[in-house]
Amino acid sequence: MKQLTSANSIDELLSEHDYSLLVFSASWCGSCKSMSPIVEEVSSMMSDRFNAIKVDVDDSPSHAADYGIRSVPTMVLVNNDEIISQHVGVMPPQKLMQWLEQLT
């Protein structure tokens, strides 16, 4: 999973693949910490289908606002700059895989 930083732009990262999974989280969020290894594992197994990008809402509040993020963790699946689906909260690995397989 790639991390959005000040050294890269979200547009650059989104252009690397047709589908991108934006994972909005925060360092203080316990649910985000438990969801992170699940997303890492699933995104590495499905890396041929989408690009996973971690966005810290405290470091990138404008991106969180652009996507209407009100709660973390929130995962937003994007296809060519268009939001396909979004999920708020923790999800077990099997459910995450099913959700992504249906959409990509």
| pLDDT value for 104 | 80
Q: Which of 10, 21, 32, 57 is an active site residue?
A: 32
| pLDDT value for 34 | 94
Give domain limits for the chain. Answer: 2-103
Angle value at C-alpha 16, between 43 and 14, nearest 5 degrees: 80
Active site residue 65: no
| pLDDT value for 45 | 92
Active site residue 29: yes
Q: What is the pTM of this model?
A: 0.90
Q: Which of 13, 21, 23, 29 is an active site residue?
A: 29
Q: How far apart are CA 10 and CA 21, in angstroms?
A: 12
| pLDDT value for 40 | 93
| pLDDT value for 17 | 86
Q: Provide the sign of the torsion angle of the four alpha carbons 39, 53, 80, 44, taken in this order.
A: negative
pLDDT-flagged residues of the chain (< 50) = none
| pLDDT value for 7 | 67
The CATH number of domain 2-103, selected from 3.10.20.30, 3.40.30.10, 3.40.1410.10, 3.80.30.20: 3.40.30.10
Rounded to a whole number of angstroms, the CA Rg of the chain reads 12
Q: How far apart are CA 58 and CA 17, in angstroms?
A: 25
Residues 6+ apart with CB under 8 A from 11: none
